[in-house]
Homo-oligomer: A and B are copies of this chain.
Amino acid sequence: MAAAAGVAASTVSRSFTNPKRVNQHTREHVLAVADELGYAPNPAARALESGRTNTLALLVPDITNPYFSGVIKGAERAAAAAGLTLVLGDTAENVETEEQLVRRLGPAVDGFVLSASRLPDEVLRRAAELNPIALVNRATPGVACVVADFDDGTRQIVEHLASYGHRSFVFLGGPPESWSGARRWAGLRAAAEAAGLSATRFGPYVPTLASGPAAADAVLAAGATAVVAHNDMLAIGVMLRLAERGVVVPDDVSVVGFDNIVGSDFCSPALTTLAERTEDAGARAVEAIVAQAHTRVSEPPTRVLPTQLVVRRSTGPLRS
């Protein structure tokens, strides 16, 4: 390339990265030749020198889970806006896979967004020393994170149920390792106490459609009038089973989910659910990493994103 343009490699380099350092005329010529040759600076060589790869990795437990689609999209958009390339990794809900990916990708990226990470605090802390890291819906001291406001969200849920006259509800728990699952239950319990409701936790359940029958049967056996499920998939699975058993939602039982996934709007009845701003979360996490790249601070910020209860047809008044 340098030869083709009749200049030194350094001039080509500066034409791309440091315009003011070369004569405008020269620069135009270089760029013209580059365009003609379809030339673009080799990113690997660039990375070698600078140590910066202009690449970010986003790790999620399950790419196909629609809940993470929002995070992915938001991160992708923010990364593109910052001129960064996004590498996507699927940890298969598996701690070893996650750790391995962090290790393997480490030298190849400028930072990690870890969504719903299962990594122990200790491992996270160590990884954060090597690469900028931002957590989504997971918190650990010393690492930047973006979390949904579950305290407020769960309060909204409880008050919504209370306003319909419910005096108690059942929480169908998800995976025990889930940080957000723990936050949800803690929030629900606190809000229930504040509102004078009684809350019971069932489970843990694998939060999928397939767990619906077992969970629904447990709910019926307990004679509950309201159910809050770990996520929408489980909530929908429960509703399917309830319908099968002739139980009417919301007349007999009210059902609430978490996540507001695609489908929670068109299942039957449409599901009342707590919506998180997942795209925002992904974008903020990327921004946090970009900020860290500039200036590392000892105690990175925790951002709390608002949540909103989307009220649909799956909740209703307590049958008197």
Contact = CB atoms under 8 A, between A and B. Distances in A.
Contacts of A45: 44, 48
Interface string A132-169: 00000000000000000000000000000000000000
A263 interface: yes
A45 B236 CA distance: 49
Interface of A: 38, 40-45, 47-48, 53, 55, 63-64, 66, 69-70, 72-73, 76-77, 80, 85-90, 103-108, 126, 130, 209, 236, 240, 262-263, 265-268
Given A69-B69, A88-B88, A130-B38, A43 B108 contact: yes
Contacts of A104: 40, 85
Given A85-B108, A86-B89, 5 more contacts: A42-B48, A44-B107, A63-B73, A86-B87, A87-B88
Contact of A64 (B73, B86, B88, B108): B73
A89 to B, nearest CB: 8
A14 to B, nearest CB: 19
A88 B58 CA distance: 10
A267 B268 contact: yes
A217 to B, nearest CB: 18
A63 B53 contact: no
The binding surface of chain A is classed by DSSP as helix
Contact of A262 (B73, B76, B263): B263
Given A40-B104, A85-B108, A267-B268, A90 B76 contact: yes
Contacts of A42: 48, 107-108
Contacts of A47: 44
21 contacts: A40-B107, A42-B107, A43-B44, A44-B44, A44-B48, A63-B69, A63-B76, A64-B66, A64-B70, A66-B66, A66-B262, A69-B69, A73-B90, A85-B87, A86-B88, A209-B266, A240-B266, A263-B263, A263-B267, A267-B268, A268-B268
Contacts of A48: 42, 44-45, 48
Q: What are the 9 A-B residue pairs with the smallest beta carbon separation, nearest first? A: A263-B263, A268-B268, A44-B47, A64-B69, A88-B88, A43-B108, A42-B107, A44-B44, A44-B48
A47 B38 CA distance: 20
Given A40-B104, A48-B45, A266-B240, A64 B53 contact: no
